[in-house]
Amino acid sequence: MSFSEVERYLEEQKEPVLFVKKKEEVIGYVRVQDLSSDKEAENNEIPFWQAHLIPLHFAYHIYCDISVSDVFKLLGEEIVIVKNKQDEVCGYLRREDILIELLRQDNHNIDLFRTILSSIPKGIFVVDKQGSIINYNDEGLRMIRCEKEKIHNRPAREIFGAEQIERVFATGETILNQLHIRPEMGILADYSPILSPEHEVKGVVIVVQDLPMLEEMAMELDYVKDLNKDLKAILSTIYDEILVVNHKGELLRFSDNNTLNFRQDDLENLVGKNLLELEDQGLFKPSVTRLVLERKRKVSVIQDMSNGRKVLAVGNPVFDEEGNIERIVIASRDITETTKLKSELKEMKKLSQQYKEELESLKSRHTLNRSVVYCSPKIDRIMREIEKIARFSSTVLLTGESGVGKEVFAKAIHQLGARVNQPFLKINCGAIPENLLESELFGYEKGAFTGADPRGKEGYFQKANGGVLFLDEIGEMPLSLQVKLLRVLQEREVIPVGSTQTIPVDVQIIAATNKNLEQKVEEGSFREDLFYRLNVIPIHIPPLRERPEDIPVLAYYFLQKLNEKYHRDIQLSPDALNLLEVYSWPGNVRELQNIIERAVVTTEEEMIHADHLNRFLQWKKASTKVRPIITNLIPLQEALEDVEEQLILLAMERYKTTTMAAKVLGISQSSVSRKYQKIVQKQASMHA
């Protein structure tokens, strides 16, 4: 008979038995009543493996030729190993089978049962049919924070779940993972029925697990969940889109804010796909994933997308313990607008630089207006030319009549140029004797000549090193010094008087003269080679009579300076200004400045009139007369009357008064008054 047939037969008999097996072969069985007789025969010394028999459906097997480890592997559950007196393994029992069997037998097995329970690492409580706790282990007492005296025969519903206990008794089903939290304890309990051979619920086994351990696991799980939420929230707030790929280039996951390069559904479809293939398809180039895998380091590239946008992609490799790339984290940012803004910013910087240069030019011009006062187009053209040449260190030759302000324009070149913070020195070549001019220009060594400073002296070239040297009246320089000046301009070095050592100098030369140097070159009084060295950038300053627009502004400028100096408030009358405008000013700006100062000092009134100014002006008749151009023949008397009328009208228009007009025309004031009235009446009758 096979084992299954025996098992089915005995199950029908409802009688507990002990199967005896050798290896996998059933060789027999022992009935419980047979063991009871053996029990009396051996004076109550019952072998452990014989004493605890179980019903058929919890059959207890004895293996004669099997190891302990083989038993565990075979069963895969918690068991009690049974050994004989020779300490040999002769069988095993499952714990739940033991519990059921002990409930069926007398209380003399309780001590042994508690010993078995104490070996179980979980909390175990056995509840009888009346719902009282009849057995337990120490681990269970620890978990519910209760003493032995207070637990035995105590109703289980006072500690555990009354609803769960009643449900197990009523249905016989097992209830798992029931959470019980009270001030004195926190446990997770499983409720299992204890069934008789007739499948009647005889009791309940409550297996508990300490909640602090579960709480710790749950808290750790919640922490991980919260950490994932935080990480997700952080990634969603980052402007960059984040992609994570593996060492093969396959997309693993992505952040939620992928609105830059891909749609959300596109990325979901790309999870698990290789991003290197997208580069081959022309979706973007170059692939930052490929570059990171090739270079094995952080890589930053600007990708050109197929939709025409530009993306800054930064790939960061993540290495494993062996130094191999395990992950690649890619942060991408759309910089299309940034690139556009960068170009616009570059243009704006260029425009700002242009505005800055123009503003600096205006500031410089405003500063120069304090010394270079003008409103005439001729001087305006000169100032614009000076603004251009001031950026360079070329030699400048200023020409013009005496008193036109050549020094003022030389200072303007210095102030507008790159040498503005370096010295500006002036020397008048015509005012210093020839024997001293050389030592003043080039310096001298100690003991160079009688009366020289024993310590020696630096010349103007050395003092102006790095700056500007203004050589006024250069046409008056002796021929002997012209040779040495030419050498300095050519070699950029000087030799002090009494020395043989050369000293390098870096000086911008601005020369000025009121002479005609070309004529002096022809006469042989000025070296031709020096003239061409000086005449690199020639600037001619026109005389004041050729720019009458500047006379009023210059007059008011000098008057304001004198009022500030002498704490007065003197003004010029209109007829005084008219007089200044028609004067020829042979002494140019210098003469105008002197006339205004003389008038301010000598007047006792707050207004300077033309009569007062006229006493200081040196009127001279023009050396040449401008002849009127006759284009048609008319009677002589008519021509005389026409010319006389035009002259009187012109004189009155310029000078406003008959007195000044008469003085300019060389006739009496009464004649001018009479003729002017006649002309006015004639014009009035013509328009009537």
- Angle between the N-to-C axes of helices 550-566 and 574-582, in degrees from 0 to 180, rounded to the nearest 10: 120
204 DSSP assignment: E
Q: Name the helix (H) or strand (E) containing 452.
A: none
**pLDDT tens digits, one per residue of 66-116:** 344 443 444 444 455 666 666 666 665 655 555 555 555 544 455 555 566
Mean pLDDT calculated for residue range 460-478: 92
Residue 688 clears pLDDT 80, i.e. is over it: no
The sign of the dihedral angle between the CA atoms of 457, 463, 469, 472 is negative
- Local confidence band at 428 (pLDDT 50, 70, 90 cut-offs): very high
Which range is least confidently modeled, 379-383, 402-406, 634-638?
A: 634-638
The total number of residues written for the chain in this structure? 688
Residue 629 burial class via C-beta count within 10 angstroms: exposed 0-12, middle 13-18, buried 19 and up: exposed
Asked if residue 475 has pLDDT above 70, the reply is: yes
| Rounded percentage of the chain residues whose pLDDT exceeds 70 | 73
- 215 — pLDDT class (breaks 50, 70, 90): low
CB 97 within 8 A of CB 54: yes
CATH class of 369-542: alpha beta
Count Cα atoms within 13 angstroms, Cβ side, for 337: 3
Could you tell me the pTM of the whole model? 0.44
Q: Is the pLDDT of residue 502 over 70?
A: yes
Chain mean pLDDT for the chain:
78
| 264 pLDDT above the threshold of 80 | no
- Distance CA(194)–CA(172), nearest Å, equals 8
Look at residue 230 in the predicted model and tell me its pLDDT.
77
Whether pLDDT at 433 is above 60: yes
Question: Residue 313 — pLDDT band, cuts 50, 70, 90?
Answer: confident
Q: Which residues contact 13 (CB under 8 A, 6 or more apart)?
A: none
Query: What's phi and psi for 98, nearest 5 deg?
Result: -65, -45
Q: When comparing pLDDT for 38 and 604, which is higher?
A: 604
CATH of domain 238-334: 3.30.450.20
Residue 70, pLDDT score: 44
| Phi, psi (degrees; rounded to nearest 5) at 306 | -65, -20
Provide the pLDDT for residue 280.
Answer: 78
Number of Cβ within a 10 Å radius of residue 385: 12
Q: pLDDT: is 673 or 474 the higher one?
A: 474
pLDDT at 370 (0 to 100): 57
Q: Which two tokens stand for residue 64?
A: 């004669």
pLDDT at 358 over 90: no
Report, as an integer, the average pLDDT of 257-279.
66
Report pLDDT for 65: 40
The per-residue pLDDT for 289 is 87
Tokens for 301? 């590239």
What's the average model confidence in pLDDT over 171-180?
A: 88
Q: Residue 347: how many CA atoms within 13 Å on its side-chain side?
A: 6
At 394 the pLDDT is 92
Closest CA to 659 of 622, 587, 609: 609
pLDDT in the model for residue 204? 92
- Same fold flag, 120-215 and 238-334: yes
Residue 612 Cα distances to 103, 371, 564, 596, 666, angstroms = 146, 27, 21, 11, 20
* Residue 90 pLDDT: 64
CB atoms near residue 677 (< 10 Å) = 11
Task: Give DSSP secondary structure letters for 604-651.
Answer: -SSEE-HHHHHTT------SS-PPPPP-S---HHHHHHHHHHHHHHHH
Task: Please give the Cα distance from 423 to 505 (Å, whole number).
Answer: 13
* Percent of the chain's residues with pLDDT above 90: 22
The reply to whether CATH 1.10.8.60 applies to domain 545-614 is yes
Count CA atoms within 13 Å of residue 256 on its CB side.
Answer: 8
In the chain, where the domains are located: 3-104, 120-215, 238-334, 369-542, 545-614, 636-687
List residues bridging with 660 in a β-sheet: none
Of 402, 496, 491, nearest in space to 456 by CA: 496
Number of C-beta neighbours around residue 409 at 10 A:
23
CATH of domain 120-215: 3.30.450.20
Question: Which segment, 102-111, 256-265, 323-332, 460-469, is predicted with the most confidence on average?
Answer: 460-469
632-641 mean pLDDT: 80
> What is the C-alpha R_g of the chain?
61
Label the pairing between strands 284-285 and 299-305. antiparallel
Q: What average pLDDT does range 218-243 have in this prediction?
A: 74
Type of residue numbered 228 = N
- pLDDT confidence tier of residue 47, bands split at 50, 70 and 90: very low
Instruction: Find the largest Cα–Cα distance for the chain.
Output: 186
Instruction: For residue 454, give the 3-state DSSP assignment.
Output: coil
- Determine the pLDDT at residue 152: 82
